[in-house]
Chain A
Amino acid sequence: MECMERETMRKIQSARLKKMVEYVYHNTPFYRKKMQEMGLTPDDIKSIDDIVKLPFTTKIDLRDNYPFGLCAVPMSQINRIHASSGTTGKPTVVAYTRKDLKVWTECITRCFQAYGADHNDIFQISYGYGLFTGGLGAHQGAENLGASVIPMSSGNTSKQIQLMHDFGATMLCCTPSYALFLAEAIKESGIPREDFKLKRAAFGAEPWTENMRKELEEKLGIKAYDIYGLSEVAGPGVGFECECQSGTHLNEDHYFPEIVDPKTLQPVAPGETGELVFTHLTKEGMPLLRYRTKDLTSLHYETCKCGRTLVRMDRILGRSDDMLIIRGVNVFPSQIESVILEMPQFEPHYLLTVDRVNNTDTMELKVEVRPEYYTDEINGILALKKMLTSRLQSVLGLGVDVKLVEPKSIERSTGKAKRVIDKRTL
Chain B
Amino acid sequence: MVAKQLSIFLENKTGRLTEVTQVLGEAGINLSALCIAENADFGILRGVVSDPDRAYEILKANHFAVSITSVVGFSCPNTPGSLATVLTFLSEAGVFIEYMYSFANGDMANVIIRPTDLDACVKALSEKKVELLAANDLYKL
Contacts and interface: CB of A to CB of B under 8 A. Distances in A.
Given A369-B9, A404-B41, A377 B65 contact: no
Contacts of B38: 378
A409 B64 CA distance: 10
B98 A377 contact: yes
A64 B10 CA distance: 49
Given A369-B9, A376-B69, A407 B64 contact: yes
Given A371-B65, A377-B99, A378-B44, 13 more contacts: A369-B9, A369-B65, A371-B60, A374-B7, A374-B9, A374-B66, A377-B98, A381-B9, A381-B42, A404-B42, A405-B11, A406-B63, A408-B63
Contact of B63 (A381, A382, A407): A407
B67 A378 contact: no
A369 B60 CA distance: 14
A141 to B, nearest CB: 37
Interface string A361-373: 0000000010100
Interface string B56-74: 0000100111110100000
Nearest to B67: A374
Interface in B24-48: 37-39, 41-42, 44, 46
The 6 closest A-B pairs by CB, nearest first: A376-B7, A408-B63, A376-B69, A374-B65, A407-B63, A374-B9
Contacts of B37: 378
B10 A406 contact: yes
Nearest to B12: A403
Interface of A: 369, 371, 374-378, 381-382, 403-409
A375 to B, nearest CB: 7
Contacts of B67: 371, 374-376
A342 to B, nearest CB: 22
Contacts of A376: 7, 44, 46, 67, 69, 114
Most buried by A among B7, B39, B42, B66: B42
Nearest to B5: A376
A382 B41 CA distance: 10
A250 to B, nearest CB: 42
Contacts of B46: 376
Interface string B94-116: 00001100000000000000100
Contacts of A381: 9, 42, 44
